C-alpha cells in the first residue's frame, strides 16, 4: 500500500507491506477520513494498492474507498437480483465509549421490513473507521436510519458530548449521502438522527399519497473539472468541492425565495465534495399542499446533467429566473400551480391608506378653518375705528 503525493517534497511517500496467503483468499482494503483531499490540492495525494506485485487500485479522489482483491473473491451481492449498499463512517472522538445505532429497511407499498441493523462502536478500543456492505432486492426502495447517542460527560451540569462523525451511503454506485454530521441536536442545530432514502422508490411505497409527493433528484458530475483559482489559469481538480454545486428545494423565487421551511438543500446531503464521473441522488417525501414549491440550482454548478422527478415523472419545464440576492438560478416548478399572489391590498396596507387619508382630511379641514378665521379677523379690523386712531 503506497500513499504518495507529487511533486516530491510536499508529502513523503508512505509504504506499508503485509504478507498475506495468496491461495483461496479474498481481501478487502478500505480507507477513509474526515476530509477529501482531492478537492483543494493539485496534484492531489493519492494511494495505490498492489497485490502480488500487480496494481489493484489507484485513486486520487476519495473520502472513503474500498477494493476487493485476491484469487477467491466473489461478488459481494447476487448481481442477478440484488443491489449493493455501502456504508462508511469515520469518527475521531476517542475520549469515551459510545455507539451509533443504525437500521436498514426495505419499503414496499403499505409495508416495510428491516433487512439489517447494528451498531458502530466508538472509543479507545475500537477503530475510528467502520465499513459495512448490505444487500437488498433489486429495484427496491431502501431507507437507512442512523441515530447518535446522548453521551453525558458531566452529570452535574448535564453537559453532552458533541459528535462530528463523517459518513457516506451509496447504492449501486449512486451516492445518496456524504456528510459530516453534527449530533446530537442542540438549540436548533444538528440532529439526533438522520434517514436516507435510496433506490427505486415510489410515492405509494415511501410517502403518504394523500398528503405527500415524492421528490427525486439525480445528477452526474463531469469526468474532468477545472476550477478557477488564483493565480490564473484554472487548475484541474481530482474532485469537485462541495460548495461548487449549489441547489435548494423550497418555495419559488418569485414569491418567497429560498424559504426551506418545507425543503432541503445540497449541504445536508453532501458537504464533503463530489467525485468526478459519478452519480448522486436525493429522494424525499414533500408536502402535497406545498404551494409554489420548486427545485433551484445555480447555473454555474459543474454537473454534466441532472433530472428532477415528481412522483416518478420527469419535470422538463425548467427555466432561468432571477434569484434576487442569489443571482440567476435554474428553477424547476414542483408545486400545485397555485394562483399568483393577490393584487388586492392587505389589511396592513388598507389600514395605512385609511390613516393617510384621515391625516390628509384633517390637514384640509385645518386649512379651511384657519382661512375662515383669517377672513373674519380681517373684516373686523377694517370696521374698527379704534384701530385707525391707534395707527
Note the pLDDT tens digit of each residue in 174-202. Answer: 999 999 999 988 877 889 999 999 999 99
Which is nearest to 176 in space by CA: 287, 64, 85, 57?
85
Give pTM, 2 decimals: 0.79
Q: Is 45 helix (H, G, I), strand (E, B) or coil?
A: coil
Give the pLDDT score at 228: 64
Cβ atoms 63, 240 nearer than 8 A? no
> Is residue 314's pLDDT more than 50?
yes
Residue 33 CA to residue 365 CA, distance in Å, equals 78
pLDDT tens-digit series, residues 129-155: 999 999 999 989 999 999 999 888 888
Dihedral pair phi/psi, residue 373, rounded to 5°: -65, -35
User: Across the strands, what pairs with 83?
Assistant: 136
Report, as an integer, the average pLDDT of 116-130.
92
DSSP state string for 123-189: STTS-SEEEEEEEEETT-EEEEEEE----EEETTTTEE--B--EEEEEETTEEEEEEE--BS-BTTB
Residue 193, classified by CB atoms within 10 Å of its CB into exposed (0-12), middle (13-18) or buried (19+), is: middle
pLDDT tens-digit series, residues 340-390: 444 333 333 333 333 334 334 344 444 443 444 444 444 444 444 433 332
Residue length, the chain?
391
Using omega within 30 degrees of 0 as the cis cutoff, is the peptide bond preceding 353 cis? no
pLDDT tens-digit series, residues 55-77: 988 887 678 999 999 888 999 99
Residue 259 CA to residue 262 CA, distance in Å, equals 8
Cβ atoms 25, 62 nearer than 8 A? no
> Is residue 165's pLDDT more than 80?
yes
Residue 357 CA to residue 332 CA, distance in Å, equals 44
Cβ atoms 63, 32 nearer than 8 A? yes
Q: What letter would DSSP give residue 340? A: P
**Average of per-residue pLDDT values in the chain:** 78
User: Across the strands, what pairs with 110?
Assistant: none
Distance from the Cα of residue 25 to its chain's centroid: 40
> Is residue 4's pLDDT more than 50?
yes
Least confident piece of the model among 1-10, 161-170, 196-205, 267-276: 1-10
Give the pLDDT score at 200: 95
> Is residue 203's pLDDT more than 90?
yes
Using omega within 30 degrees of 0 as the cis cutoff, is the peptide bond preceding 233 cis? yes
Cβ atoms 244, 232 nearer than 8 A? no
Residue 289 CA to residue 337 CA, distance in Å, equals 10
| Residue recorded with cell 433528484 | 217
Give the pLDDT score at 238: 78
Please work out, in degrees rounded to the nearest 5, the angle formed at the alpha carbon of residue 64 by the alpha carbons of 243 and 138: 100
What are the C-alpha distances in Å from 124 to residues 179, 205, 327, 368?
23, 42, 48, 89
Cβ atoms 184, 192 nearer than 8 A? yes
Give the pLDDT score at 287: 85
Q: Which residues contact 74 (CB under 8 A, 6 or more apart)?
A: 26
Residue 167 CA to residue 90 CA, distance in Å, equals 6
Give the pLDDT score at 379: 43
Q: Cell for 138? A: 433489486
Report, as an integer, the average pLDDT of 147-176.
90
Cβ atoms 88, 30 nearer than 8 A? yes
Q: Cell for 256? A: 418567497
Q: Cell for 112? A: 416495510
Amino acid at each position: 500500500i503506497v500513499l504518495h503525493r507529487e511533486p516530491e517534497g510536499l508529502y513523503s511517500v508512505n509504504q506499508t507491506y503485509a504478507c498475506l496467503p495468496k491461495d483461496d483468499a479474498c481481501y478487502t482494503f478500505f480507507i477513509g477520513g474526515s476530509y477529501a483531499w482531492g478537492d483543494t490540492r493539485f496534484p492531489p495525494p493519492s494511494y495505490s494498492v498492489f497485490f502480488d506485485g500487480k496494481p489493484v487500485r489507484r485513486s486520487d479522489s476519495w473520502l472513503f474507498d474500498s477494493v476487493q482483491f485476491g484469487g477467491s473473491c466473489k461478488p459481494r451481492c447476487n448481481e442477478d437480483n440484488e443491489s449493493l449498499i455501502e456504508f462508511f463512517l469515520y469518527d475521531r472522538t476517542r475520549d469515551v465509549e459510545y455507539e451509533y445505532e443504525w437500521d436498514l429497511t426495505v419499503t414496499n407499498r403499505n409495508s416495510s421490513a428491516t433487512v439489517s441493523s447494528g451498531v458502530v462502536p466508538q472509543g479507545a478500543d475500537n477503530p475510528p473507521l467502520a465499513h459495512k456492505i448490505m444487500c437488498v432486492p433489486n429495484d427496491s426502495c431502501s431507507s437507512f436510519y442512523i441515530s447518535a447517542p446522548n453521551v453525558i460527560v458531566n452529570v452535574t451540569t448535564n453537559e453532552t458530548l458533541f459528535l462530528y462523525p463523517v459518513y457516506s451511503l451509496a447504492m449501486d454506485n449512486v451516492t445518496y449521502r456524504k456528510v459530516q454530521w453534527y449530533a446530537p441536536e442542540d438549540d436548533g442545530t444538528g440532529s439526533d438522527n438522520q434517514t436516507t432514502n435510496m433506490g427505486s422508490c415510489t410515492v405509494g411505497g415511501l410517502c403518504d399519497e394523500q398528503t405527500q409527493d415524492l421528490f427525486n433528484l439525480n445528477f452526474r458530475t463531469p469526468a474532468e473539472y477545472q476550477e478557477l483559482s488564483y493565480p490564473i489559469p484554472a487548475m484541474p481538480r481530482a474532485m469537485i468541492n462541495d460548495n461548487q454545486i449549489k441547489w435548494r428545494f423550497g418555495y419559488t423565487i418569485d414569491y418567497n425565495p429560498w424559504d426551506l421551511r418545507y425543503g432541503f438543500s445540497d449541504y445536508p446531503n453532501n458537504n464533503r465534495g463530489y467525485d468526478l464521473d459519478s452519480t448522486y441522488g436525493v429522494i424525499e417525501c414533500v408536502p402535497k399542499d406545498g404551494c409554489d414549491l420548486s427545485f433551484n440550482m445555480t447555473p454555474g454548478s459543474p454537473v454534466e446533467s441532472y433530472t428532477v422527478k415528481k412522483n416518478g415523472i420527469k419535470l422538463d419545464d425548467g427555466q432561468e429566473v432571477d434569484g434576487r440576492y442569489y443571482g440567476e438560478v435554474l428553477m424547476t416548478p414542483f408545486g400545485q400551480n397555485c394562483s399568483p399572489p393577490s393584487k388586492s391590498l392587505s389589511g396592513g396596507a388598507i389600514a395605512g391608506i385609511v390613516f393617510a387619508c384621515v391625516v390628509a382630511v384633517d390637514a384640509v379641514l385645518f386649512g379651511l378653518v384657519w382661512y375662515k378665521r383669517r377672513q373674519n379677523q380681517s373684516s373686523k379690523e377694517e370696521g374698527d375705528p379704534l384701530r385707525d386712531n391707534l395707527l
